[in-house]
Amino acid sequence: MRLTQEIIAAKRDGAELPDDDIRQLIAGLTDGSVSEGQAAAFAMAVYFNGMNARERVALTLAMRDSGTVLRWDDLPGPALDKHSTGGVGDTVSLPLAAAVAACGGYVPMISGRGLGHTGGTLDKLDAVPGYVTQPGVGLFREVVREVGCAIIGQTADLAPADKRLYAIRDVTATVETIPLLVSSILSKKLAAGLHGLAMDVKFGSGAFLPDYAKAQALAQALVEVANGAGLPTTALLTHMGEPLASAAGNALEVAYALDHLTGRRREPRFHEVTVALGAEMLVLGRLAPDLDAARARIEEAFASGAAAERFARMVTALGGPADLLEKPERHLAAAPIVKPVFAEAAGAVAEIDTRAVGLAVVALGGGRVRPQDPIDHAVGIVELAGLGDRIGSDRPLGIVHARDEAAWAAASARLRKAYRIGEAAPRGALVAERIKERFSA
């Protein structure tokens, strides 16, 4: 066993760390014998010198093993999940989990809260009265087995080393380095005991990594490390140069997801990403022989109402109202001010600063500026214009739901600044690339 400072010095000098060193350091993070200063120094050494594929796998497995590792071997079907790197209007998890469950998969989805300008799945589900996002493990297992899906938050005993290391990275400017990003994301998914994982890695103005090359590198690393750690994984690179859905805000996105599930409204771009990710999950779980067959099964789950039925059962099993799908307006909070925002000139939407749209929702109270901030679930923006849409006196940029007139005015100004009106540019492919490869050390 080496001293912690020797391990840090080795990585500082660009050395490749053996598995034992990595396990020792993560164990020290978990039990407190590694100080915050040492953890920060290690994170910075990794930031500058990186880690190879074998080191990344070892780090991810050590973080997985820092707490409880769930097992789903008693299920009659595969345990499957998806993870998105986040964006604006990305509420795919809600209809997706239910659709995959309707196709014979089991989805123990452990989700997070909003980060920066991006919305969090748990914050959306907190908008549903009575829904328990932090159930005990017993109830979580019961709902997954009986319904086929359960969307909850991370428990304290799943990958606790990640929670401590992330907090240190957050205040030492080391969040963005790929080895630490990958281990943070995948340690929690591996701890969830999955049999297959579909990754949705975003690029574009509303993504965590706007640059395509950087997003591609992250996607490749995620697939490589996940497969190396024994979790079959594929990744899709999807465009977040505009909001994925026309709604952004917690209760508003829940309502949007309910419309999608019931067929009251299904927007093509949102549907395309949802079906694509669902198909990947079915193929990974060997519930369909190929992607074409898998897409057909997901489409049928939506068209038949089977996905909606699964979602309704999940909500009820976790404490939510039984008639949420039929009467969402009875249960979801509504803002007192609801007014459209028009552009200063007519024309086509040529470009959207999607991150700025997300920050407009945060400023309304729909996200957090500080971790302890409360969230106003009622506020947000709907009917958001997309790239190429014609804007004028009969078509606003969006409809803002605000707590008061001052908040509406501030959000309106932000929304106008986020849109550039001019000549419509052709949209690129929504799903730009599919990454599936095997691990090689």
- Residue 327 annotated as catalytic: no
Say which residue the tokens 């109830």 belong to. 139
Residue 436 a catalytic site member? no
Of the residues 66, 184, 274, 412, only one is catalytic, namely: 184
Which residues neighbour 76 within 8 Å (Cβ) at sequence distance 6 or greater?
none
The one catalytic residue among 83, 124, 195, 331: 83
Told to judge if 184 belongs to the known catalytic residues of this protein, a careful annotator would answer yes
Catalytic member of 163, 188, 239, 331: 188
Long-range contacts of 25-34 (CB under 8 A, 24+ apart): 25/62, 26/59, 26/62, 26/63, 26/66, 26/161, 27/62, 27/66, 28/4, 29/66, 29/161, 29/164, 29/165, 30/66, 30/67, 30/160, 30/161, 30/164, 33/4, 34/4
Among the listed residues 60, 84, 133, 183, the single catalytic one is 84
Alpha helices in 322-404 (DSSP H): 328-331, 354-361
Catalytic residue, from 23, 54, 82, 401: name it. 82
Crossing angle of helices 53-64 and 19-31, rounded to 10°:
30
> Residues for the chain: how many in total?
441
Take residue 299 and report the two structure tokens written for it. Answer: 């489409």
Active-site residue, from 11, 54, 60, 81: 81
Has 11 been annotated as catalytic? no
State yes or no: is 205 an active-site residue.
no
Q: Are 227 and 439 in contact (CB under 8 A)?
A: yes
Determine which one of 189, 195, 202, 310 is catalytic.
189
The closest of 393, 377, 287 to 334, measured between CA atoms, is: 377
214 catalytically annotated: no
Catalytic residue check, 82: yes
Strand, helix or coil for residue 367: coil
Kindly give the residue spans of alpha helices, DSSP state H, lying in 326-396.
328-331, 354-361
Q: Is 155 a catalytic residue?
A: no
Q: Which of 169, 260, 377, 414 is catalytic?
A: 169
188 annotated active-site: yes
**How far is the CA of 348 from the CAs of 124, 173, 382, 421, 426, in angstroms?**
31, 38, 18, 5, 11
Active site residues: 81-84, 121, 169, 184, 188-189
